[in-house]
A and B are shown apart, each in its own frame.
Chain A
């Protein structure tokens, strides 16, 4: 199979999944929940409700409602969110908050990859030694730790305790120091990019970096643990292969064998895990952002839960599912490129 056919096949396979996602969100909010809650807020006058029911087709048969829902979604009408104060279209809010979450997730992912892959290699090459045990327990703790608790503890130690002892400490929350810098004009929405390229304000950039450290590490730890474990087990498998023995018997140094021969092949399953973990990161962002007061999608979703803002949750679920599907798609692509056998499978 050619690469183009492979890509096409994957795209065709993704379409039913996307429709399934739409159907599930529709089912949840229209069949199980109260469909009217999507479009009615506390500020809606009672007299307007019958009009909304008629306009939204809530009195129509279910099948018709389903198609109305799909049409509305494709036209960019994702309901009205009440969480941010004024009633705002969900899509607008999503677009505004999305960059903050993505920025946090990308930094977290970078931390996880940069630390996780070497840790996995160390653990695999020193199997059953002290370093291996330490790394394994470290990784196990990472997958067993409630991320929200970890965040709170980090905040307590690195922000509060250090400031009590008059030591330099990390900021306890927020995206940047609002008091020092005032508001900024989002161009791309990524503060790290905007502050350098558009605001020309290196101090703001540094401040943003300092604010990123704690939430990003908190968010990245689980992914770090997952990557380390995957890297370790795939490395262990690859090391046993014949071509590694061959490379060793050729007289190549351990370093060359591990980093040139084994690493490339061991990376393949790790790449999959990284792609899948990206979706998990956005989930984790829900909890991390709440704790670090990060103005992204996650905190907004949590607030909308407390406000019983169904439209917001629906929009958030849809967006996250789309990201997840796209991430899986990209992983499939990379997998296909890295391992040609998959394409012919």
Chain B
């Protein structure tokens, strides 16, 4: 009994200590992540501001990755709280998670920062006149044969119809994803509840209410008394698309006159006049053109006025008259016109929540391509570094890495990803991406290792070594460039397969609960209505098929082109 108590006391101290360490780790990792994100953003914004810095594509990739990890860590911490509440003794269980997270942050952060510093440094060098890159001449001389080789490859690519088709399809899909804001007719998450499961090409059953803010202010000028506003309001066909009449809402509330005791008369009027006529007339002349008016004293004016169902020019006028001059007063004022318009046609029909399939597919292109590209990029860079190190240094490191990849290869990709998402316990596209990154890196580690192994013993490496080049120089500037081709082929084809697996995971139900436009989830939404509304399933599936096919076409074709056995001049 006594020992039990002692043990408990000991446990408690350790628990306190460990939770302190946990907190430190979390803070440190958040700080690191924050630095990366802010640094990247600052750099990108600098580019937008027109300082004419070219922002390379991978900069925004780093932002994306850092963001994903930041968001996920918050969720992980939240999930961990659940564990702590239920099993108060299990203080150690998530400790390793924080260690892992911090390592990830530190790696990403360091790489990101190094990239940033290098880019800034090189850009500075370019802008200083008279400074040439010290390696420039050497670089040109070095790359001549490589450029020649690349030209030949490009020539072969142009000659291969399947690859050309694939490249065109990929560019098309990327264009679709980029131009989504301009080509879609609905937002990705819009649900029009009257339009459930409409067949392709049908017009909407519902009408859309729009608001246009004509005037919005909270402070009034105390020097002008009465304070006075007017504005032209033209009723065009846009406001009269439906049978519903447009309405003008006027809201004046929260009147504050400070310490002074004043009474304020608020008057709102609409005249059937053009603004030029209005300005030419006196107050009494205007009275005959008055369409509607409303006024209160010392109260909130909250009212709407129905506008006539015909086109024409109007002037609205808002007037504040105080009983005496005051120094400070404020009031919350809004003039809003509300009108109804017809929803755009549903080109490819709607789903069971009244979402527009066409728009959702285009928004989904963004989501899906983002997942596929980020997964392959992260898995590729991580796997390539591990694989290159393992192949180059060999020995125990190699043995260890290969055993670890063996274990990863013992799981089929989808099942391991499922288990990881399940363990993380957060249903979102980011979780799917993270799970797929963890699942995919061993492929590249193996591939790069094999390439490095076969390249390591070649004569030119021996030559470089005997001329005194360092290990890292041999690895990065001699071996890796020569092993990159099969890796690129693999990566291209993997983008297609990652797309399929990600869509499969989303289909099973690992996506976010509602709303998000993602192809796999769209198919999942459609599967229960496959008999009555096949378009819900057909179009997103075709989108996946075309995208995956285009990457596979390119990868397959390039593999044939780069194959030295088939490459004859």
Contacts and interface: CB of A to CB of B under 8 A. Distances in A.
Interface of A: 16-18, 20-21, 23-25, 28-36, 49, 53, 58-59, 61-62, 136, 140-141, 143-150, 152-153, 155-156, 160, 237, 279-280, 282-283, 286-287, 290-291, 301-302, 305-306, 308, 310, 313-314, 316-317, 320-321, 324-325, 328
Interface string B498-510: 0010011001111
Given A58-B90, A280-B412, A287-B504, 16 more contacts: A25-B419, A31-B93, A31-B94, A32-B94, A32-B423, A34-B87, A35-B83, A58-B89, A144-B496, A146-B541, A153-B537, A286-B414, A286-B415, A287-B508, A291-B527, A314-B419
A53 B89 contact: yes
A36 B425 CA distance: 14
B411 A32 contact: no
Given A156-B534, A287-B507, A321 B411 contact: yes
A120 to B, nearest CB: 15
Given A59-B87, A144-B545, A146-B504, A33 B425 contact: yes
Given A17-B407, A17-B410, A320-B412, A146 B94 contact: no
Interface stretch (B145-153, B451-459, B546-554): B546-554
Contacts, number: 184
A53 B87 contact: yes
Contacts of A152: 523, 526-527, 530, 537, 541
B423 A33 contact: yes
B423, B500, B556, B565: most-surrounded residue (chain A CB, <10 A): B423
A247 B497 CA distance: 40
A34 B500 contact: no
Interface in B49-90: 79, 82-83, 86-87, 89-90
Chain A interface main SS type: helix
Contacts of B500: 144, 146-147
A306 to B, nearest CB: 5
A62 B412 contact: no
Nearest to B548: A144
A309 B17 CA distance: 33
Given A140-B552, A141-B549, A290 B508 contact: yes
B47 interface: no
B530 A31 contact: no
A325 B504 CA distance: 23
Chain B interface main SS type: helix
A67 to B, nearest CB: 15
Interface in B119-167: 162
Given A31-B94, A317-B418, A324 B412 contact: yes
Contact of B416 (A17, A23, A314, A317): A317
A102 to B, nearest CB: 15
Interface in B373-432: 403-404, 406-407, 409-416, 418-420, 422-425
A76 B420 CA distance: 23
Nearest to B532: A160
B423 A28 contact: yes
A101 to B, nearest CB: 13
B97 interface: yes
Contacts of A53: 87, 89
A249 to B, nearest CB: 22
Contacts of B87: 34-36, 53, 58-59
Contacts of A286: 414-415, 418, 504, 508
B43 to A, nearest CB: 33
Can you list the 9 inter-chain pairs with the closest CB atoms, starting with the nearest?
A: A20-B407, A149-B541, A144-B548, A28-B423, A144-B549, A59-B89, A33-B423, A283-B412, A32-B423
Contacts of B545: 141, 144-146, 149
